[in-house]
Amino acid sequence: MKKMKLGSYTPGTSLIHQLDPRTKLLSGLVVIIVILVDNSWPVLVLNTVLIFLVLYLSKISPKSVLHGVKWLWIIFAASFIAHCVCTQGEPWFSLGPLVVSKEGISRGLATFLRLLILYLCSTILTMTTSPMKLAGGLEALFAPLIYLRVPVNQFAMLITIALRFIPTLIEEAETITKAQKSRGAPFASPKKMVRLKTTLAVLIPLVVSSLQRATDLAVAMESRCYTGGPHHSRTKNLCFGRYDLVALAVTVVICISGTIVG
Amino acid sequence: MVVIKKDDFISMQGIQLSNVTKEYFNSQNDKFCALKAVNLAIKFGEFVGIAGENGSGKTTLARLLNGLLLPSAGRVTVNGMDTRQRRVIKEIRRLVGMVFQNPDNQLVSPVVEEEIAFGPENLNLPRQEVNKRVEKALQIVGLENLRQKSPHMLSGGQKQRVAIAAALAMQPDYLVLDEPTSMLDQTGRRRILEHLRKLNRKHGITIILISHNMEDLIGADRIIMLHQGRIAGDGTPWKIFQRDDHTVALKPPNIVRMAQILRKRGYRLDQQITTLEQMENGICRLLKSTT
Amino acid sequence: MPVIEINNLSYVYNAGTLNEKRALDNITLSVEKGEFLGIVGANGSGKSTLIQHFNGLLLPSSGSIFVLGHDTRDKQYRSQLWKSVGLVFQFPEQQIFEATVYDELAYGLRNIGLGQPEIEVRVKEALENVGLIPEEQFLNTEPLCLSGGMRRRIAIASILAMKPDILVLDEPTAGLDPEGYAHILDTIKRCRKNQDVTVVMVSHYINDLLILSDRLVLLDDGCLQIWGPTREVLASADVKDYDLLFPDYIKLLHNLKKQGFQVNTGVLTLEEAVDEIDRLLEGE
């Protein structure tokens, strides 16, 4: 039932696990922006090295990350091939009617690396950071927006509650699906409309119970004096230490030097 | 200026309901009266059971106690504070902890520890104080080793214990539990009841336990029966179990019924038998006295 | 003739992962046609996992299960099994999704492919069976407007309407108030009277099952501990190991027996227990 889902948090004590979530969020953001804005080779190579270094330091088995999803590799491969074939330039070799250019290979490789870095950045972030810390990190980073009357605290509470109830909802959906199957719900019907109605037979009860749950939860929260304020266990537990400074500095230096050389 | 009358002093401690009526309007705009002119005093330190069938007003009563609902007429006071006064409502909610029926629908946080910290943090307590209270509450309900777990991995009984701990972290005087055992299995139910008794005896917390299972209420100091929005009975469990009125469709516990039937058949069993041990001893004594 | 035959059935959740859990361990069991089988066990003992094998929602990790004479591993057979094995889940009111009571009850019947006249007859019959009468009053009601106990009766009726050969109920009385509880029990008693239907009922507390069951199964941590005729199970001394599953009047008799008194511990109801004590006191 509860399979190990890709990118789900794997508890650990590695250096990367211990970093402040804000550090990880910011560094990830910097890396992603740089590789999206500047696709020169030095930037890509340096960032690839960086991300694999982080992967090594996080002590997550590379296998679990890289072999995680097959379809992702299909996308990687497809984008690589598409770039190879569709880019005009000096022909290198040809395969029947398809002409592969040197520029194509280089652009295909660059795209592949960008996708890989994007994927690894997000996966390592979620695998080494507990959802609560992530929510706390986001709340802290967006805290200045409170002055613009953006309800940051309430939003963080929203994420917290979502994190709490997603597993419950999944379980409930599984049970309802089984219950409807027991009444012969045609989940595998060839007709689109029938399948739609069958999906509704699971969705409607799920929505109904969620509304009931929301009502109950609101009462329970009110009973415990909730008024929409900030939550320390999310934000105050964060501590920005020496390693965070080093990590941020390394990221920034690598990104800047890559851009300059490129 | 606040004028304190003489009888206000008497009612400072405890919860007072004086002439409380609560009306609802349904979708057709019909008036429905959930509680009718209820007068009730709950003393500090009591273990009170509230029983009654569905629609008798049990849940309405519970929600009036911490100001989740406000009376349509009459007044509810907690340690002398009126629930209708907005400036004391936070203090009232702190004093009167609530645990609800569905264990799943009252926990907000994905981690047990943070769940328990939720209340104290809403009170804006300093970090160390919050940690201290979380520690204490975990220890009282015996969940220290599950502190890092996510609630969805716990059993129903464990979830209810988390909910109790979460209420305890507010350091309440009163704990109101609205059918906390009805969705649990026997192990979970027994555990919860043991904890409630301990909280009452050892920690001096007033327990107000709502249940339609009379077995749950055997250990109470006092049972209040509700029927159609009115108080239909108020007394010790034993006194309530002896009642033979058919307006209240709640069966006394098995052992009590057994004792009643045996006594009717002429056996001279001891008075006030409510537990299995008492019954066993009673029968043994009878058997030995006849030989 | 057994309608369900289970041989050495084991079921493992998340096989091969860190969360691997053996939910059922080497269960051998059979259910006779027309019998009422009670399955009792604490939460997490594997009751729900077991009954989901009955209509092919789960397949054994090892061992086999034959339902109405066929192996549920046969995919063709399994996909049609829901028509003959009606499974009522725990808290079945959660599965209600149609806008009217009539449509909710007709859902399974339409999936079977019955015609309109037959559906109407069966819906009314099922409503009567769960005690929601007069039926006309309920047909066009919105299920969400009804009380929890009534919604549960509608969910049960939606399975009854399909007229299954085997009716399986998972904790049908859990979390209900005394009134709702009594209605559900009445419904189940009515089902029991119908000799053509085999009923399997699961509960974490034996009380409901005592007067209904022909035979009882006791599950503990995925293992079948006791299986036999109800009175024999109650009379057996093992009862004291499962303290929380049995009602206190039965425990009382067992305690008295342990003290050396001649007591028949095979009683079902409180009244029988009182009679037994009466006899004991009289005899001395």
pLDDT tens column, A65-115: 776 667 778 888 888 888 887 777 777 777 777 777 888 888 888 888 888
The overall average pLDDT reported for chain C is: 90
pLDDT of res. B245: 67
Of residues A258 and B76, the one with the higher pLDDT is: B76
Q: Where in chain B is the domain with CATH 3.40.50.300?
A: 6-252
Q: C83 and A184 in contact by Cβ < 8 A?
A: yes
B1: number of Cβ within 10 Å: 2
Q: What is the pLDDT of residue A130?
A: 80
Interface check A216 vs B, CB under 8 A: yes
Using one digit for the tens of pLDDT, what is the confidence trace for B17-43? 999 999 988 767 778 889 999 999 999
What count of Cα atoms within 13 Å lies in the side-chain half-sphere of residue A191?
Answer: 6
Percentage of the residues of chain C whose pLDDT score is greater than 90: 60
- Which has the higher per-residue pLDDT, B249 or A258? A258
Residue B290: pLDDT over 70: no
Rg (CA), chain B: 21
CA distance B238 to chain A (A): 33
Q: Give the pLDDT of residue A188.
A: 87
Q: What is the ipTM of this complex?
A: 0.91
A220 has a chain B CB within 8 A of its CB: yes
Residues of A in contact with B121 (CB under 8 A): 231-233
pLDDT at A1: 34
User: What CATH superfamily is the domain C1-84+164-178+192-229?
Assistant: P-loop containing nucleotide triphosphate hydrolases (3.40.50.300)
Given B68, B90, B105, which is nearest A213 (Cβ)? B105
pLDDT in tens, A27-60: 999 999 988 888 788 888 888 999 999 989 988 8
Q: Give C207-255 pLDDT, tens digit per residue.
A: 878 889 999 999 999 999 989 999 888 888 676 677 777 888 888 998 8
Residues of A in contact with C144 (CB under 8 A): 208
Give per-residue pLDDT as tens, B50-75. 998 888 899 999 999 999 999 999 99
* pLDDT score, position A258: 80
How confident is the model over C186-202, as a mean pLDDT? Answer: 89
Query: Which among A59-63, A122-126, C19-23 has the top mean pLDDT?
Result: A122-126
Residue B254 with chain C: CB contacts under 8 Å: 247-249, 270
Chain B residue nearest residue A171, CA to CA: B152
C193: distance to nearest CA of chain B, Å?
26
Mean pLDDT of B206-230: 92
Binned at pLDDT 50, 70 and 90, residue C71 comes out as: very high
User: Which CATH superfamily, name and number, covers B6-252?
Assistant: P-loop containing nucleotide triphosphate hydrolases (3.40.50.300)
Q: What average pLDDT does range B274-288 have in this prediction?
A: 87
Q: Which pLDDT score, from 0 to 100, does residue C284 have?
A: 53
Mutate: best of B287, B288, B289, B291, partner C, most C CBs <10 A: B287
Tell me if chain C has a CB within 8 Å of the CB of B10.
Answer: no
Residues of C in contact with B185 (CB under 8 A): 42-43, 204-205, 244
What is the dihedral angle through the alpha carbons of C205, C207, C213, C216, rounded to the nearest 10 degrees?
40
In this complex, which of A223, A227, A234 lies closest to B68 when CB atoms are compared?
A223
- pLDDT on residue A6: 58
Poorest-confidence range of A188-197, B120-129, B245-254, C258-267?
B245-254
Residue C46 has pLDDT above 50, yes or no: yes
C146-156 tens-digit pLDDT: 888 899 999 99
- Judged against a pLDDT cut of 90, whether residue C100 lies above it is answered with yes
Ranges of CATH 3.40.50.300 domains, chain C = 1-84+164-178+192-229
Q: Which residues does chain B have within 8 Å of residue C244's beta carbon, measured at their own beta carbons? A: 185-187, 190
Is the pLDDT at A2 greater than 50? The verdict is: no
Contact: A178, C89; criterion CB under 8 Å? yes
Q: Do B185 and C205 touch (CB under 8 A)?
A: yes
pLDDT tens by residue, A153-173: 888 888 888 888 988 999 999
pLDDT given at position A3? 43
Closest approach of A206 to chain C, Cα-based (Å): 8
Average pLDDT of every residue of chain B: 88
Using CA atoms, how far apart are residues C227 and C216, in angstroms rounded to an integer?
Answer: 6
Please indicate whether, in this complex, the C-beta atoms of C277 and B258 are within 8 angstroms of each other.
yes
Q: Residue C52: its chain A contacts at CB < 8 A?
A: 178
Q: How confident is the model at residue B247 (pLDDT cuts 50, 70, 90)?
A: low
Residue of C nearest to B284 (CA): C256
Chain A within 8 Å of B175 (Cβ-Cβ)?
no
Q: How is residue A163 written in tokens?
A: 């994190």
Q: Are the beta carbons of B287 and C174 separated by less than 8 Å?
A: no
DSSP collapsed to 3 states, chain C: CEEEEEEEEEEEECCCCCCCEEEEEEEEEEEECCCEEEEECCCCCCHHHHHCCCCCCCCCCEEEEEECCEECCCHHHHCCHHHCEEEECCCHHHHCCCCCHHHHHHHHHHHHCCCHHHHHHHHHHHHHHCCCCCHHHHHCCCHHHCCHHHHHHHHHHHHHCCCCCEEEEECCCCCCCHHHHHHHHHHHHHHHHCCCCEEEEEECCCHHHHCCCCEEEEEECCEEEEEEEHHHHHHCHHHHHHHHHCCHHHHHHHHHHHCCCCCCCCCCCHHHHHHHHHHHHHHC
Neighbour subunits, C (≥3 Cβ pairs < 8 A): A, B
Residue B1's pLDDT is what?
46
Task: List the single residue in C42, C179, C204 with the smallest CB-CB distance to B53.
Answer: C179
Nearest to C165 by CA among C229, C95, C70: C70
Chain C residues closer than 8 Å to B190 by CB: 244
Asked if C52's CB is within 8 angstroms of A178's CB, the reply is yes
Mutate to test the interface with A, among C97, C114, C145 (most CBs of A within 10 A): C97
Strand order in the sheet with B222-227: B96-99, B174-178, B206-210, B47-51, B222-227, B230-235
Residue C274 CA to chain centroid, in angstroms?
A: 28
